[in-house]
A = this chain, B = another copy of it.
């Protein structure tokens, strides 16, 4: 006995069929009286896989007709269906969520009666916007229930990339107290420590800068950080006159408009005892080491982003993919007045 399309649900009224469909895969919502109510996603999937028939006005619907009907009545149906179908095909029990997320997924082999939710899932179109503010709200909701947040990003051809999102807490021992006092000379867009001994000592304390022969080159960010700690006196090359922090930052902003944003993230990580170097080679703001960069690889790539950061998903995808390719973790460091919060995105195969 086939199901019947009633408004935007499909009813399976035959008690035996209803219980079979529910018990094998936990599709639908059992009603008192023995019938089963399927939502459009579930009904489309069961129709596509040949497990049910669906009648509308006593005539059977084809899969094409059901897709067409669903897509015209439910917003974002195609995107949801593509992710739902993929997770089902991977063997998960997936239930549509009526709250903040699109689906809940149970652990492999688990069911709504035996297991807790493993993932909250959001199905996202490649063309939608990544908004760090609402993204963090979703993460907070997900964390409150101690579940993982899984994103299924659907590209324009229907391929899905999955990301797991989490907060990252980096940290170690701060070395700020032991940084030596140094004098630097300001050139166009970099600072040089010209005294051989000072250059060597500063480099050895926290791996600041890069040696050019016996001279040490410092980036603008490194210089501003050291000046902020009161560890560096800066001079102009021709006149030898002192340059103060405020004047230096004004100059740096002209060269790099987002200088203060980056400096906040840089200082936050340095304060946590991490060794932070430019991420230019990886197209990121920073590469970050947990220990000695001469003998270890960088563990993280970090982008500093403003509180109200918005980007297109392909941009985010590029950053995650790149970090993945060089075996590093990508963190987006959201800089606010009070702190920096690090969001980690990791590509996964669920």
Contact = CB atoms under 8 A, between A and B. Distances in A.
A63 interface: yes
A157 B283 contact: no
B319 A283 contact: yes
A284 B155 CA distance: 12
Contacts of A48: 213
A161 interface: yes
A63 B215 contact: yes
A325 B161 CA distance: 18
B76 A210 contact: no
B280 A78 contact: no
Contacts of A278: 126, 155-157, 159
B127 A283 contact: no
A187 B63 contact: no
A30 to B, nearest CB: 27
A78 B158 contact: no
Contacts of A82: 212
Contact of A318 (B218, B221, B283): B283
Interface stretch (A15-23, A90-98, A189-197, A338-346): A189-197
Interface in A173-222: 185, 187-190, 192, 194-195, 209-210, 212-215, 217-222
A321 B215 contact: no
A214 B280 contact: no
A220 to B, nearest CB: 7
Contacts of A222: 157
Interface string A273-309: 0000110111110000000000000000000000000
A116 interface: no
B188 A281 contact: no
A237 interface: yes
Given A156-B220, A283-B314, A325-B326, 8 more contacts: A64-B194, A78-B187, A157-B210, A280-B313, A281-B321, A282-B321, A283-B322, A321-B325
Interface of A: 48, 63-64, 67-68, 71-72, 76, 78, 81-82, 85, 125-127, 153, 155-159, 161, 185, 187-190, 192, 194-195, 209-210, 212-215, 217-222, 237-238, 255-256, 277-278, 280-284, 313-315, 317-319, 321-322, 325-326
29 contacts: A64-B192, A68-B194, A72-B238, A78-B187, A78-B190, A78-B217, A85-B212, A127-B189, A127-B256, A156-B190, A156-B220, A156-B221, A157-B209, A157-B217, A157-B222, A158-B190, A159-B210, A159-B278, A159-B281, A161-B280, A280-B313, A281-B317, A282-B321, A283-B315, A283-B317, A318-B318, A318-B322, A321-B325, A325-B325
